A and B are shown apart, each in its own frame.
Chain A
Amino acid sequence: MASLNAKITDAFHELASERSGSKDPRVRRRDCAKPMAPGTAVGGCAFDGAKVALQPITDVAHLIHGPLACEGNSWDNRGAASSGPTLWRTSFTTDLTEIDIVMGHSEQKLFKAIREIKEGYAPAAIFVYSTCVTAMIGDDIEVVCKRAADEFALPVVPVNAPGFVGSKNLGNKLAGEALLKHVIGTLEPDEPGLCDINILGEFNLSGEFWQVKPLLDKLGIRVRACIPGDARYLQIASAHRSRAAMTVCSTAFVTLARKMQERWDIPFFEGSFYGISGTSEALRRIADLLVRKGADPSLLHRTEILVAEEEAKVWKRLEAYRPRLEGKRVLLNTGGVKSWSVVHALMEIGMEIVGTSVKKSTLEDRERVKQTLKEENLLFESMSPRELFSLLLERKADIMLSGGRTQYIALKAKLPWLDINQERHHAYAGYEGMVQLARQIDLAIHNPMWPQVREPAPWEPALVVAKRAKREA
């Protein structure tokens, strides 16, 4: 456990990041590992975070070492897309029983499980995740993985992030540490190019990175590794030869980006593919970093041309939605990078933001929202469902954008809602994604179903109906 503790401390020791670097270490620790209060806590644990951050690597077998619940209750619940292998969607767990734990068989069972998976599924690598119980009973997954790797001549990567060590966010960071320690830099690429980049913290949910990749292709920029979305093991193993990097979900992988910069001199920036100006800025900064690292300077010019063309096209397409969405009031309940990037995008098409949550956001994320919104009291921290429910009514929101966990707060209040988190069914990244987002918001707000469901029941007395109408007006 000692090495794990050291790793956790290290994960919070974030110095060089442009957005986190200014922070006092105590603030940093607070940001990343807010104490979890019994009876009021929501959200995932460190194990959840680690698995989320690595599972979209598609040709790897992800083996969860612990009792059933950790994997049995959580598998097949995220919509990352793969352009090839489907192995990542197969669920593997050692499903420890009481006998395994009492008799001390668990390490042995893990080793056998690794063998079974190697023989039955021929994975590119196996990632082994520890969980609360296996960490508690002292299973040394690092040693088991090393032995298995030697014996089976296969990369077997320990991911040491048991749930109890902290939040989902911490788990993201520990996943980055595992990649850094065991994967990245273990393989030399065949033909490193001057325009190779890494994208970190892009999950390719609903395949949305595929809306961005063609833009990069047009510019001749090659994504050597998109971590973790639609990634292959070998791409990640050779990611250290890329020339530049962008972190998309910074809270997840900024530490990884910083360490890759230190170790392999890969400059990075924190950006977003949400919104029109966000996408344009990201493209420009990628080009800029590459040119500074020796790519042909004409890349800058070509980028400007592409941006100008694409922006003109997307604005034209958005014109159709503007009259339908202008002045509509949005409440955002999401976190991290989306707290400012989506806000910005929605304001671009004339919508009014009546509130946005800044939970899971870094200090710099907050700064950006403040600058965009120009009004501090629109920012709120994590909220209880009841508070969120009243906020929706108080501020007369026309729609709430959030993740699946809070959807019923809006829906049960008979208000439009749109999923912008991991379970969503539409891709919102890039220029294309902005049109899709506008379309989905339009469909949600203007659905003819709303007036019907709000209609009072035939047996409701007129007095009650009038009272409610007055309250809602």
Chain B
Amino acid sequence: MARVVSQTKSAAVNPLKSSQPLGAAFAFLGIDGAIPLLHGSQGCTSFALALLVRHFNEAIPLQTTAMNEAAIIVGGADRLEEAILSLKARTRPRLIGICTTASVEARDEDVAGDVENIKRRRAMELMGTEVVVANTPDFDGAIEEGWSKAVTAMIEAIARPDKQYRNPRKIAILPGWNLTVADIEHLRETAVSFGLDPVILPDVSGSLDGSIPEEWMPITYGGTKLKEIRDLGATMQCIAIGEHMRRPAEALQRLTGVPYVLFRSLTGLENVDRFIRVLAAMSRKQSPLNVRRNRMQLQDAMLDGHSHMAGKKIAIASEPDQLFQLSDFFTAMGAEIAAAVTTTGTSKALEMVPAKTVKVGDLSDLESLAATADLIVTHSHGREAARRLGVPLMRVGFPMFDRFGSQHKLTILYRGSREVIFDFANIIQANHHPPNPWPLDSTDRRGSQ
């Protein structure tokens, strides 16, 4: 069990984190016909937007209440109303997802109350559009919490609380932020191949998967439909993926009585086996042929790849659930987690990370711990540290702005686990150095690539 070590420095150097409102906006992007609205100064949105665009290589709908000096002094309710009405009139979204920022939260504004007032006063104008608030100050949490809070907010605001007829084929899946577009598509296909009818919330495929609409779209297209969220109570079972999805799963259970089962990770043979057993039990069906084939292929990849992973020292930095997902898998393949760094210290997933300690910190912490590692695993911002240390970098998570196709990488179930093995082993092979014919000092060895 890992010991969580908190930050002691005053200056964060090369941040690992992206902000909580960005995480919430990301979740809202998984809803069909939505637009996330960051409630704060203009820059909060502009930075988040630029980063999302760089990661996805897609146009991202994102708006701001553009708090100015007056709003900072007297409060932002008026600007919030103006923004909601303007968005409604111009883009006719089905959902406006409000993510609060530090400027509003530090003033302790009652944004939820403000939105209730606006909804009441402007009921006619806002007909046909849901407005949901996630309280996501920048001075707390990171992507993971933001994502989790937005999903919880949507369930609490939209799902119908009354008793409903439960369709035995319908299941709800609540994926964590660390699942890619490809992961979600694969998840859906797998559930469907068992004859199940999954509702995935949020579903970032569609607007973030690179498809090209005929007309210019100022809101998201594709993703979870509002009606599906409304009818979540009609599902038999909820599957939450990642510790941070426990909160929305509990909200759903509290509201509709739909029970949930939580998977901390869907990567690695044992975790996937457990998941497949649950699907088989829910559907009362045998595993279909493609799933069986995929399992064999993963076994084969494990046999082929394990020698490249065995004994390798990994320095990894990510949000808690992804940190657990990957380090759990790497150690199950014989690698060793030499350093683990994460964004925030409250997640229960951290205790399960197979490392002596997990440091809450930044990429400079990772850099100082990774000098003797064989592989650094983190997002694109880790490239400088990796270059300085001469240690290869495996890019995972968010943001990934210097590689194409991050959204189409599979990381879960049998097939995704196989892909992760391939990635890992290929990077290790490409950076393998045979012994030198003469001894070099350590700095030369690192700098030689």
Contact = CB atoms under 8 A, between A and B. Distances in A.
Interface residues of B, number: 66
Nearest to A45: B43
A112 B12 CA distance: 11
Contacts of B47: 44, 48, 69-70, 73-74
Contact of B101 (A35, A37, A69, A93): A69
Nearest to A121: B13
Nearest to A95: B12
Contacts, number: 213
Interface string B1-45: 000000001111111011111100000000000000100111111
B218 interface: yes
Contacts of B80: 38
A227 B22 CA distance: 32
A364 interface: no
Contacts of A98: 137, 139-140
A84 interface: no
Contact of B384 (A89, A110, A167): A89
Interface stretch (B57-65, B119-127, B184-192): B57-65
B102 A69 contact: yes
Interface string B129-172: 00000000111101000000000000000000000000000000
A132 B103 contact: yes
B384 to A, nearest CB: 7
Contact of B69 (A37, A120, A164): A164
7 closest residue pairs by CB, A with B: A45-B43, A39-B83, A39-B86, A38-B83, A113-B11, A69-B19, A112-B10
A321 interface: no
B87 A39 contact: yes
B117 interface: no
Interface of A: 35-48, 63, 66-77, 89-98, 100-101, 109-110, 112-117, 120, 132-133, 136-137, 162-167, 384-386, 389-390, 404-405, 408-409, 412-414
19 contacts: A35-B68, A36-B42, A38-B79, A39-B90, A44-B47, A45-B41, A45-B42, A69-B20, A69-B102, A73-B48, A90-B364, A94-B11, A96-B139, A113-B9, A115-B10, A163-B44, A384-B218, A405-B50, A408-B58
B15 A72 contact: yes
B49 interface: yes
A39 B11 contact: no
A36 B19 contact: no
Contact of A67 (B48, B79, B102): B102
A219 to B, nearest CB: 37
Given A92-B12, A116-B9, A163-B43, A36 B51 contact: no
Given A73-B50, A76-B381, 8 more contacts: A48-B43, A67-B19, A90-B13, A91-B12, A94-B11, A95-B11, A136-B103, A405-B50
Interface in B277-323: none
Contacts of A70: 43-44, 47, 138
B42 A163 contact: yes
A175 to B, nearest CB: 14
Contacts of B72: 132, 136, 164
Contacts of A100: 139
Contacts of A117: 11
Nearest to B362: A95
B42 A41 contact: yes
Contact of B103 (A36, A44, A133): A133
Contact of B65 (A38, A48, A95): A38
Given A73-B51, A163-B44, A389-B216, A39 B15 contact: no
Nearest to A165: B69
B137 to A, nearest CB: 7
Contact of A45 (B46, B63, B90, B213): B46
A164 B40 CA distance: 9
B83 A137 contact: no
Given A74-B47, A385-B59, A91 B218 contact: no
B66 interface: yes
B258 interface: no
A66 B17 CA distance: 14
A133 B11 contact: no
Contacts of B140: 97-98
A386 B42 contact: no
Contacts of A385: 59, 216, 218
Nearest to B50: A77
Contacts of A97: 139-140
